[in-house]
Amino acid sequence: MFRHSQIVRPHSLDDYFISLLKTIYKNQNISAEEVSQWISSPPMKTYYRVNTIITTPSDVVASIQEQLLKLKCIKCKDDLPSVKVHKYLDDCIVISPIKKSLLDIHPKNEEIVVDIATGQSVLRGSHIFAPGVMAMAPDIKIDSSISVYADLAKECKRGYQKHYKNPLKMFVGNGIVKMDRRQLFSGDMNPKGVAIEITDPLSGIPAFTLPETHGLLQNLPSVVVGHALDLKGKNLKVLDMCAAPGNKTSHIATLMNNSGFIDAVDKSKTKLKKIEQKCEDFGLKNVKIHHYDSLILIDTNNRNNELNKPPFKKDSFDRVLLDAPCSNLGQRPLLKIEANENLIKSFPILQKKLFANAVELLKPGGILVYSTCTITFEENEQTVAWALEKFPHIELIKIDPVIGSSGLLDSGLSEEKCNLVRRFGPDDVENDSIGFFIAKFIKKSST
């Protein structure tokens, strides 16, 4: 064995992406290299959003603490990571990382290889589920201790049996085998369940397991989005325009305490099943799910007389969430970055079409929250600037609670308006999370 003390990232950034980073953060005294380091590293804090309909934050804190005490790397209570309720969000648990120590790396006949997405999840504190495993040596047995590598080259074939020598593989942590080769690769092409229990992620982010009914791991900005909608009113009618996989939908329903009505719309029929499952697990009964395209969500010809079924009439909703499709350049860790200029430039076109529909569907006096999980100007501040010019009957308003940084200057918004939007990025050390953007509007009058 040998020991590994830091995250080594054998990846490279293309010239376009480096140029993009320099443009975005040119006034933040942050180099493109520092931003790329931030993007390719996982957030050091873990956030767990509690389903308060089923359980309480204090019970969840106690359960997580009990599990962390059993981790091999925890020698005493003094080493136990901090587990506490967020100071502004009473349904969000914040878990700090484990104190970093050197990790033993197992020899090559005691390693497995996973795909990039799974490697990223391990660094975020997740166990490894069966579909993510690409390679495992034949003599690895259940309950064996192994080291885990992510295949950044995307060249490892599923079921590979030999030692995978590609230099573009990245050590992400150690774990215990719970499924062998026969279970993973023989017969059933869709194996399910936890294949590897992670005991020591390289990032120091602890892994734990809670009942699916109790809540879910959720990025901090996504939790802020739910609270930004101001859902304390009675019998609110809410629209979630791009709802899958349903994390924000379930949060909205929970904050409404199963009152009012939520129409969750998504054009992916497969992804809608995830929303249905989440609502069932969480005991949510105020969500109606629709397989529909939000680009054609407005009933322009009064052709639909059925209530709660798309297309919807204008001025129908008290709250609208547009968590827009985006370039996803804020997701962390991004272990392999393949920025495509044409693809990135296509998103603002789609986002503006969806935004126009969101404004039309919102009632006068209603609230619209727009969010993305990316860092570009075009999809964030510039879209807000466009919206304020295009729709003079909407107004940008303050997001409460105030979490995250202000929008970036020289991006299309005045300093006053930059202070109203929330941006999460490498300059926001206190709220170390993914790259994200949130803007909140009120509709002053009908069109």
Question: Annotated catalytic residue: which of 156, 242, 326, 373?
Answer: 373
Question: Shortest CA distance to 416 belongs to which of 443, 390, 397?
Answer: 397
In order of 114, 194, 394, the CA distances from 340 in angstroms are 25, 34, 33
Question: What Cα–Cα distance (Å) separates residue 164 from each residue in 94, 230, 420?
Answer: 37, 51, 50
Residue 364: is the preceding peptide bond cis (ω within 30°)?
Answer: no
**Active site annotation includes 373:** yes
Sheet with 92-95, strands from edge to edge, namely: 83-85, 92-95, 46-50, 215-217
At residue 76's C-alpha, the angle toward residues 72 and 81, to 5°, is 80
The closest alpha carbon to 108, from 2, 195, 14, 25, belongs to 2
- d(C-alpha 421, C-alpha 218), whole Å: 21
Per-position DSSP letters for 226-279, written without gaps between them: HHHT---SSS-EEEETT-TT-HHHHHHHHHTTT-SEEEEEES-HHHHHHHHHHH
Half-sphere exposure of 57 (CA within 13 A, CB side): 15
Residue with tokens 């019970």: 59
Q: Tokens 């320099």 identify what position?
A: 22
Name residue, tokens 């100007």: 377
| Catalytic machinery residues | 373
